[in-house]
Amino acid sequence: MTAATPSAAVDVLFARRLPKIELHAHLTGSISRSCLHDIWADRKTRDPQLELEDPFVAMPPGKVDYDINTFFPLFSSYIYRLCNTIDSIVYSTKAVLQDFQRDGVVYLELRTTPRRVTEQGISKDDYIKTVVAQLREHNRDKSNSLQAFLIISVDRRNTVAEAEEAVDLAIKYQPDGVVGIDLCGDPAQGDVRIYTATFARAKAAGLKITLHFAETENSASDEELHTLLSWQPDRLGHVVHVNDEIRKAIERQDIGVELCLSCNVLAKMITGSYSDHHFSVWRHSTVPVALCTDDVGVFCSPLSHEYYLVAKHFGLDRHQLKALSEGAIRSIFTGAEQQSRLSKIFSDWIDDTIRA
């Protein structure tokens, strides 16, 4: 069958079977509610005085209407307080890797912000070391179909010294699977200009750069966007509030975009719904496009569902959806070895349901 022949309509099962590449997933935001509940139940058994609410109460099943004002406090006021031991960090990281794998994700670049838990004696280095060790253990197990790598996040609330510490950790753990550095956090906070030298140092050390870009109007001033583009990022996340001039600059610099439809729709970061999403613009651009989940633990839409939604709202058939998924190979941060592994996965993947 030729590529021009239309293939059968996409359904959820097809989207799940399709090999997928996830490039924009925040570790703590990717922990499912049932995993959070397991952690809570274990802690409650050991310490009946524990004052934290059950995750099923704090984040009721089915609740996905977190907006930009209620979303960020969820981490500092709840999830970070729950997942604050080495055991819970290990348990939740393993669960996140398994969840992505079960959803048909074959390559994952997970990102996380170095976190200190003073009361447990956990340093930022301990935190990153623990996460990196889980990824390495997962990758070593040949029975796993998913390979995972780490991106270290700088939070927009960080001081320059904290951002420098994040880059130090990224450089230290580069030989163990850290591939890049990210700028994330509440877009209403901070002045990105203070990190220019820090990101230049990361780039000079061979780390790739991805940035949350124009997520809200607050973080989409010309000055901020030109500053971020001057860091020569390799990928950009969200790219919601961009005008034609910025869009052309992104295309000129051939920067991959990470698009998070459900997050943008549910958190009301765009006006309208799925069919109004700026995927409609980027799908026709020359830059690589990766559909991503952002925070599947909060918005509850796994990557397969994001692919399904795109097929449904933008009329992509099975061939087009496979081509979209495969296209993300171009913007992975690890290089030739993983690129050829992924190309082989896609060329070997014959879905007998792809037929006219």
Ligand X SMILES: CNc1ncnc2c1ncn2[C@@H]1O[C@H](COP(=O)(O)O)[C@@H](O)[C@H]1O
What residues line the site for ligand X (CB under 6 A)? Answer: 26-29, 71, 75, 112-113, 153, 155, 184-185, 212, 215, 263, 267, 294-295
Annotated catalytic residue, options 22, 109, 165, 215: 215
CB of residue 339 to ligand X, shortest distance in Å:
26
CB of residue 27 to ligand X, shortest distance in Å:
4
Residue with smaller CB distance to ligand X, 229 or 292: 292
Q: Please say whether the beta carbons of 3 and 320 come within 8 A.
A: no
Residue with smaller CB distance to ligand X, 146 or 329: 146
DSSP 256-281: EEEE-HHHHHHTT-SSS-GGGSTHHH
CB of residue 131 to ligand X, shortest distance in Å:
9
**Cβ count within 10 A of residue 193:** 11
CB of residue 247 to ligand X, shortest distance in Å:
20
* Residue 162 annotated among the catalytic residues of the structure: no
CB of residue 36 to ligand X, shortest distance in Å:
13
Angstrom distance (rounded) from CA 152 to CA 236: 15
Phi, psi of 30, rounded to the nearest 5 degrees: -100, 0
Q: Which residues, other chains included, contact 320 with Cβ-Cβ below 8 Å and sequence gap of 6+?
A: 311
Residue with smaller CB distance to ligand X, 73 or 335: 73
Q: Which residues, other chains included, contact 247 with Cβ-Cβ below 8 Å and sequence gap of 6+?
A: 281, 285
Residue with smaller CB distance to ligand X, 202 or 263: 263
Left (φ > 0), alpha (ψ -120 to 50) or beta: where does 164 sit?
A: alpha
Angstrom distance (rounded) from CA 23 to CA 256: 10
- Quickly count helices (H) and strands (E) in the chain: 17, 8
Q: Please say whether the beta carbons of 311 and 8 come within 8 A.
A: no
Residue with smaller CB distance to ligand X, 295 or 326: 295
Residues forming the active site: 215
